[in-house]
Structure 1
Amino acid sequence: MKKSLLVAAVALSALFAGSAAMAQDKGSLSYNLELTNNYVWRGVSQTNGNAALQGGIDYKKGMFYAGTWLSNVDFVAPKGENANTEADLYLGITPTVGNWSYDFGVIYYTYPSADSATTGELKAAVSHPMGKGSIGVAMYLPTETLEKPYYEVNASYPLSSKWSVSGAIANYESARYTTWNAGVTYALTDHLALDLRYSEAEKMPNNLYATLKASF
């Protein structure tokens, strides 16, 4: 796993360096920054119910993408270490066939202070227009075992130029629980949005949380 993570990090760094050196073939970079009162992932708080500051950088060229994302966290890793930072690396492709949009990629979730929590997943997702909105399915398969995936059905729909609703229902086989979430998003500007969301996970505390999202 560590070797695979190092290879992914080097490849990502080389990609960004190469794109800066060749302006005629650089693709595009985008950035995101989020502030939330509770970092909830797959229905479970990663910050023990506390706030998180998050942000990431994404590179895209054609149907290829790669990126990194960071957040503070607060939980105990499998071997007893205290995890306080999450740093993710990911890359993939997003082909389209007619009205079907696909996403195939790999994600590494790393925790510098809690190495036993570091893990990887393969991602396969597809979405299709549903009126003005969309509906999709996604599966995330652990790279270490290639079994017991997390899979979900998700949907989103715009209510107006400012308001939209979205949600998902999922099953996490390796953790043995089901989860769902539903929320509403309001676009404050073209680059700033506020999301209010509620989630439930089987046999775990429910979560109501707000997230301020900036993208540029």
Structure 2
Amino acid sequence: MIRKILLAGAASLAIAAPAVAQEVSVSGNVAISTDYVWRGVSQTNGDMAISGGFDLESGGFYAGTWVSNVDFNDSADTNIEWDFYAGFAGDLTETVGFDIGLIYYAYPDSSGLDYDFVELYGGLSTELGAGVGLSGYIYWDPDNENIYVEAAAGYALTETLGVDATVGNYSFDGGGDYTTFSVGATLATSVGLDLDFRYWDTDITGADDAFVFTVSKAL
């Protein structure tokens, strides 16, 4: 779950409007991961995940969809997560960008277990120079009154290799709050594949940490 764009390489597509030609960027992504970890918690019971999605962007507006297998070990044997999202991103200043939108998380084969929910989100990001970038996001689930706050920092070692770290806190209306963090490295290869190796952990008592390796490709 997140706006689940592991990578989004764009192919531009020109669409003519009656008065003004509006350029729309269309992109897609596919990925295979050793685990699907979301906010520090496995969504596949520690097993592999295959995921992919499509996105479009025009003038700062974007919308897309993303799907992955899941395994909650539940009575319905839920196997599919299908997300839909839309938002608007742009620049507040020459160095600060913003991103606002919403995500609908759907579980179409959950047999009435009512897993579906919506989050509204907003974030800010900045480039500090010398390859360093910072971002912060807040996600709010209005139906369940849950809030997730995340901060991230990244550093580009080269044009193709970067490292990053995230820390987040998930607050639930009914209790059970926890903090999670991750550190990872991403490499864009010369054959068009992107490799991500990441360590996840939380302060949930008895929960397992996870090393996750992902191979993805922009379409």
Count of paired positions? 195
Partner of 1:135: 134
Letter in 1 for 2:78: A
Deviation at 1:81, TM superposition (A): 2.8
User: Does residue 1:89 correspond to 2:87, yes or no?
Assistant: no
- Partners of 1:26 and 1:129 lie apart in 2 by 26
- Partners of 2:183 and 2:24 lie apart in 1 by 34
Measured against aligned partners, the alpha-carbon deviations of 1:133-161 in whole angstroms (never above 9, x if no partner) come to 2101100000314x331001101111112
**Counterpart selection for 1:57 from 49, 54, 58:** 54
Q: What are the residue-to-residue correspondences of 1:22-33 with 2, within 5 Å?
A: 24-25=21-22, 27-33=24-30
- Partners of 1:188 and 1:172 lie apart in 2 by 34
Distance 1:111 1:20, change over 3 A: farther
Q: Which runs of 5+ in 2 are unaligned?
A: 1-13
Length-normalised TM-score, structure 1? 0.85
Deviation at 1:189, TM superposition (A): 2.8
The structure in which a higher percent of residues are helix is 1
Q: Percent identity?
A: 35
- Partners of 1:28 and 1:197 lie apart in 2 by 29
- Partners of 2:128 and 2:78 lie apart in 1 by 40
Partner of 1:48: 45
Partner of 2:208: 205
Q: What are the residue-to-residue correspondences of 1:180-195 with 2, within 5 Å?
A: 180-189=181-190, 191-195=192-196
- Partners of 1:33 and 1:164 lie apart in 2 by 20
Q: What are the residue-to-residue correspondences of 1:28-177 with 2, within 5 Å?
A: 28-76=25-73, 80-98=75-93, 99-114=95-110, 115=112, 116-131=114-129, 132-145=131-144, 147-174=145-172, 175-177=176-178
Measured against aligned partners, the alpha-carbon deviations of 1:111-141 in whole angstroms (never above 9, x if no partner) come to 0111411111001010011222210110000
Preserved CA contact (<8 Å) 2:126 2:134: yes
- Partners of 1:37 and 1:165 lie apart in 2 by 19
Distance 1:190 1:142, change over 3 A: farther
Deviation at 1:68, TM superposition (A): 0.1
Deviation at 1:20, TM superposition (A): 6.5
Q: Which runs of 5+ in 1 are unaligned?
A: 1-18
